[in-house]
Structure 1
Amino acid sequence: MSQKPINYLHLSTLVAVAILVGTELVGASWAAGWALGGLFQLDPLVSRALEILFSIAGLIGLYFFMRTAIRNEPIRG
């Protein structure tokens, strides 16, 4: 069974969107962890844990965003 060729216009759009949205989501979530740690004067270890937890949440958000983006603008086709 032959596959459809790769549409490089869609691929480049999806890569650009992944970079843009990924930077925004992970950066904002990391900054939120840092800000909450500073605001509540938490221990540095707890502050780092919040940063890591929030950045993981940002990566999960990016995963679901990209899954939807690929569904709406397929790479092959």
Structure 2
Amino acid sequence: MVLIGIEIFAVALSGGWAIAGLFELGDHVGYALMAVFGVGAAWLLLQLWHKAARVDPHG
């Protein structure tokens, strides 16, 4: 779970940085994109956590 969570957040943050850099949107828009993608990554991680807990509730 930890490894997958780190990878999800890394993709979210680097994706926001890359999109802002590609379209030359500036630092503030880049940070906003990172925040939006980070919230999406947190939601995905929560969904993954719930599904994993259903498969192995004691692990």
Fold-level similarity (TM above 0.5): yes
Match of 1:73 in 2: 56
Deviation at 1:43, TM superposition (A): 2.0
Query: Could you tell me which amino acid in structure 2 is paired with residue 52 of structure 1?
Result: A
Query: Counting helix residues as a fraction of each chain, which structure ranks higher?
Result: 2
**Aligned residue in 2 for 1:64:** 47
Higher RCO structure (Cα 8 Å, ≥6 apart)? 1
Structure 2 gaps, min length 5: none
Amino acid at match of 1:23: I
Matched residue count: 59
- The separation in 2 between residues aligned to 1:66 and 1:48, in whole angstroms, is 26
Quote the residue 2:21 is aligned against: 38
Can you give the 5+ residue segments of structure 1 that lack an aligned partner in the other structure? 1-17
Shift of 1:73: 0.8
Instruction: Name the % identity.
Output: 31
Q: Considering only aligned residues, what root-mean-square deviation do their CA atoms show, in Å?
A: 1.1
Q: Which runs of 4+ in 1 moved over 6 A?
A: none
**What TM-score do you get using the length of structure 1 for normalisation?**
0.72
